[in-house]
Amino acid sequence: MNGFEVRIKPKCRMIEETISFKDGVWNLQNESSKELTAQAHLRVDDEGIGSFENRIRQVLMSSGATTFTKIANKWNTSLIGLMTYYREAVINTQEVLDLLVKCENKIQTRIKIGLNSKMPR
């Protein structure tokens, strides 16, 4: 559903659990009785994760002899785009959080390689 995955958990399955009031979890209630009937957990789906990973891969592949500021700007633009579109769904998706750490390390390594190489005068 446009990069989102919504998992609905009915109230009958939440007997032993407490009702969570956090980002990415929406409480669904009956309109007339105002009774809580379920919770919807918002996540980023695999397609959205894959498209972000491909975008970062594209940034790394196309950054041959470019300056580190251009690489950092492309990383920042991609990251802002991801967070703007998915917002609170990112917090509930552990795969995205792991991917962000992995991609950030790759970008940092690429920038370090560029800074340590011999620069022409």
Query: Across residues 64-85, what is the average pLDDT?
Result: 92
Which pLDDT belongs to residue 78?
A: 96
Q: 2-56 pLDDT, tens per residue? A: 889 998 888 877 666 666 667 788 888 888 998 888 889 899 999 999 999 999 9
Which pLDDT belongs to residue 23?
A: 76
Exposure string for 82-104, b = 16+ CB within 10 A, e = fewer: beeebeebbbbbeebeebbeebe
- Domain annotation for the chain: domains and CATH numbers: 4-44 (no CATH), 46-116 (3.30.43.40)
CA 1 – CA 87 distance, rounded (Å): 15
Task: Please answer whether residues 43 and 89 qualify as being in contact, where contact means their C-beta atoms are separated by less than 8 angstroms.
Answer: yes
Which pLDDT belongs to residue 25?
A: 85
Q: 79-91 pLDDT, tens per residue? A: 999 999 998 899 8
Which pLDDT belongs to residue 119?
A: 60
CA 18 – CA 50 distance, rounded (Å): 33
Which pLDDT belongs to residue 114?
A: 81
